[in-house]
Amino acid sequence: MRMWFVCRFCCPAAQSNSNPEWEAKVLEYFKGQLKEKESHSWVPSLNDVPLHYLKPNSLVKFRCLVQDMFDPEFYMGVYETVDPSTKFKPRSGSVLRFKFTNTVTAERQTFYCVPIPGESPWAKEISFLSAARVVPSTSYVPSRQKRSYEEDDDMDTQPQKQREPHTEPHGNGDSKRQETEAPSSQTTAPSDCSSHLDLNFPLPGERGPACLVKVYEGLDSFKLNDTLEIYGILSVNPVLTVLGEEKDPSLLLLNPTESMETPEEQRAHDPPASLVPRLHMLYARPLQHNNPLLPSAPTEDQSAFVSSFLVEMASVRAELLAYLTHVLLGDGLAAEYLLLHLISNVYTRRDVLPLGKFTLNLSGCPLNSYTERLYQIVQQLVPCSYRLSMSLHTMNSMRLVPKKDYVANRLVSGALQLARNTSLFLDETQLEQGQLDSSGVRNITALGNLISWQKVDYDFSYHQMEFPCNINVLVTSEGRSLLPSDCQVPLQPQVTPPNMEEYLTTIHMAQFTSQINKFRVYLSLARTLDYSISDEVTKAVEDDFVDMRKDDPQSVTAEDLHRMLVVARLLSLSLGQTTLSRDGWMRAKHIDMLRRSRTEQQKSLNGNEP
């Protein structure tokens, strides 16, 4: 409750409500406080701290994806209670008797937010534990059970990381501080018991709290699928929960206003507050990325960080390339392409054409869980990822495209509702022969649209609505993929380890955490760099293209030029260069030529087969 807060330490003037600008002042104050360097880490995170350890009505933060936007609500912004001396302002539907004389109706909107889908375990570990490290204190922090993960042995997870939720710079700490001495055997996920309630996570098997965020201002600046870090007041008031089963149907006749909502709708919009807490937004920060190793805000220290890292860039790249080469069984070219793919990003759209996307099709992958291991390695490198095993069953049964459920009046999520820059790993090696049913065909079409146009058409039953997205799609397949792709690289293993599992695990183990962290920073950073092409190089590229066409017009088409320009861009960025040089262009041409000759070779090989 906002007012409660305000009364405590901001402006006593609010008591008399004489100052109408007090709201703005409060926001100003919080924004100012949160700007301070380490203040972010004082605020407990809803992602991490179990709900029952958080004090209701305290300031919390929540890193999330806007999964659905509900209809706007009107509420009483200001009203008088019977006793004029205790004028106060509930934001969360407190029960009051009041005289209906002096109210102001205001508008707000509710967003249904879920934790960022597919967030890699390492990103979670680091962002929440590093936050805890900042301010040592005596108060309790629940020690987390480490997520079972084979590769993260090196993760530094000391259990006694502690924090203090310093939300009150003006003292009076005990009302704010989290509960102390809680049993440490608890696991983290507060939604363990929520299996009966569909929390509508985009990806199956996700855990974590979902949250109903009440937004009071700047409604138009938020979009569906935005990733945000929200600072707000937590509310778990059980009064909010209106469970359908408590309703006596006979009452509906008498009070038809209550019957506008179906039980499904009520369940979706007013889930129990203990499972889906309410968060009253004070301030939200859009996240460019969710890599905890990088400074998140575009501030001065970020640019300092970038420039310091740029020096290292080339060497990190070489190490990463070597690492990926090992992982891809000694295939250097495929490693090079995988690296480029990992830093690709849709940086702009020209009318319908997304620029900068680079979907990679890695064909000729060995069977038997190689792809699975490969995904685990990718997952270790990128902050957000999801592996979609394209087996016939999943394609026919899984819901990829979000669909509006008009009965419950909510957007039922699908696996393609992902945050920007998520790595989507499509495992086509799992596909067997058989028949796709109509939903399977729709799913494949949706994947095709995603790859070619970087958009997902959400199903609104009476019409479809197009939502642009920015997802890196990596397709692993045996032969050429049935999905379109920007670039296909047949894998040519140089080594054939007798035991694949062991081989990959050894490679992974050989990397130190610091090393891996460097890779992670590198990949996230390279993506955000600016890029330009000078006039001189433009000319050279044009000449080159004309020359190539002269020799054999069939060999190089406009599409090839598109791809080579993307490759050149990514190649330059991967080296930390922000302009295209002649060399860069030649290199891009060279590796593209190597790749093409390899594809052709593969084709002729296949052609010779009976």
Partner 1 sequence: MSSPTSTPGRRKRNRDDIPATPKSTRRRGQDSSNGDLPAMPTSPGTDIASPAVHDTSLFSSPRRSVLPSEVDMSSPLMYGTPSSRVEARQRPDLGSIRKAPQVDLHSEPPSADGAVASEQALGQKLVIWGTDVNVGTCKEKFQRFLQRFIDPASNEDENAGLDLNEPLYMQKLEEISVVGEPVLNVNCSHVQSFDADLYRQLISYPQEVIPTFDMAVNELFFERFPDSILEHQIQVRPYNALKTRNMRSLNPEDIDQMITISGMVIRTSQLIPEMQEAFFQCQVCAFFTRVEVDRGRIAEPAVCRNCNTIHSLALIHNRSAFSDKQMIKVQESPDDMPAGQTPHTTIVYAHNDLVDKVQPGDRINITGIYRAVPMRENPRQSNVKSVYKTHIDVIHFRKTDEKRLHGLDEDSDQKLFTEERVQILKELASKPDVYDRLSSALAPSIYEHEDIKKGILLQLFGGTRKDFSQTGRGNFRAEVNILLCGDPGTSKSQLLQYVFNLVPRGQYTSGKGSSAVGLTAYVMKDPETKQLVLQTGALVLSDNGICCIDEFDKMSDSTRSVLHEVMEQQTLSIAKAGIICQLNARTSVLAAANPVESQWNPKKTTIENIQLPHTLLSRFDLIFLMLDPQDEAYDRRLAHHLVALYYQSEEQIEEEFLDMAVLKDYIAYARTYINPRLNEEASQALIEAYVDMRKIGSGRGMVSAYPRQLESLIRLAEAHAKVRFSDKVETIDVEEAKRLHREALKQSATDPRTGFVDISILTTGMSATARKRKEEVARALKKMIQSKGKTPAMKYQQLFDDLRGQSEAAITKDMFEEALRALADEDYLTVTGKTVRLL
Rule CB under 8 A: which of 436-455 touch partner 1? 441, 445, 452-453
User: Which window, 42-50, 179-187, 258-266, 424-432, contacts partner 1 (CB under 8 A)?
Assistant: 258-266
User: Which window, 57-65, 94-102, 170-178, 425-433, contacts partner 1 (CB under 8 A)?
Assistant: 94-102
Q: Which residue, 300 or 559, is less far from partner 1 as judged by CB? A: 559
| Footprint on residues 336-375 left by partner 1 (CB under 8 A) | 348, 350-353, 355
Residue selected from 260, 435, 495, 607 as contacting partner 1 according to rule CB under 8 A: 260
Give just the sign of the alpha carbon dihedral 299, 300, 305, 310. positive
For 53-67, b where at least 16 C-beta lie within 10 A, e where not — what string?
bbbbbbbbbbbbbbb
- Compute φ and ψ for 421, nearest 5 degrees: 65, 20
| Footprint on residues 278-297 left by partner 1 (CB under 8 A) | none
Shortest distance in whole angstroms from residue 490 CB to partner 1: 21
Cα separation of 506 and 512, whole Å?
A: 12
| Footprint on residues 217-256 left by partner 1 (CB under 8 A) | 220, 223-225, 239, 248, 251, 253-256
- Answer yes or no whether residue 20 interacts with partner 1 by CB under 8 A: yes
- Compute φ and ψ for 281, nearest 5 degrees: -70, 130
Largest CA distance in the chain: 91
User: Which window, 46-54, 334-342, 386-394, 403-411, contacts partner 1 (CB under 8 A)?
Assistant: 403-411
- Answer yes or no whether residue 314 interacts with partner 1 by CB under 8 A: no
Cα separation of 407 and 480, whole Å?
A: 42
Shortest distance in whole angstroms from residue 332 CB to partner 1: 27
DSSP string, 552-565: -TTT--HHHHHHHH
Could you tell me if 411 and 402 are in contact, meaning their C-beta atoms sit under 8 angstroms apart? Answer: yes
Residue selected from 83, 84, 100, 181 as contacting partner 1 according to rule CB under 8 A: 100
Shortest distance in whole angstroms from residue 604 CB to partner 1: 18
Paired tokens of 109? 């909107």
User: Which window, 104-112, 119-127, 159-167, 510-518, contacts partner 1 (CB under 8 A)?
Assistant: 104-112
| Footprint on residues 496-535 left by partner 1 (CB under 8 A) | 531-533
Residue selected from 12, 24, 31, 104 as contacting partner 1 according to rule CB under 8 A: 104
- Answer yes or no whether residue 557 interacts with partner 1 by CB under 8 A: yes
Which residues does residue 233 pair with via DSSP β-bridges, in sequence order?
A: 59, 280
User: Which window, 64-72, 128-136, 187-195, 426-434, contacts partner 1 (CB under 8 A)?
Assistant: 64-72
DSSP one-letter code for 81:
B
- Answer yes or no whether residue 435 interacts with partner 1 by CB under 8 A: no
Cα separation of 356 and 570, whole Å?
A: 8
Could you tell me if 483 and 426 are in contact, meaning their C-beta atoms sit under 8 angstroms apart? Answer: yes
- Answer yes or no whether residue 377 interacts with partner 1 by CB under 8 A: no
Instruction: Give residue for tokens 């642009």.
Output: 468
Instruction: Kindly state the number of chain residues that form the binding site for partner 1, as judged by CB under 8 A.
Output: 83
Shortest distance in whole angstroms from residue 411 CB to partner 1: 6
Residue selected from 28, 153, 156, 258 as contacting partner 1 according to rule CB under 8 A: 258
User: Which window, 43-51, 53-61, 187-195, 555-563, contacts partner 1 (CB under 8 A)?
Assistant: 555-563
Helix axes 513-528, 300-327, angle to 10 degrees: 120
Element (H, E) at 248: none
- Answer yes or no whether residue 68 interacts with partner 1 by CB under 8 A: yes
Cα separation of 396 and 191, whole Å?
A: 28
Cα separation of 210 and 197, whole Å?
A: 11
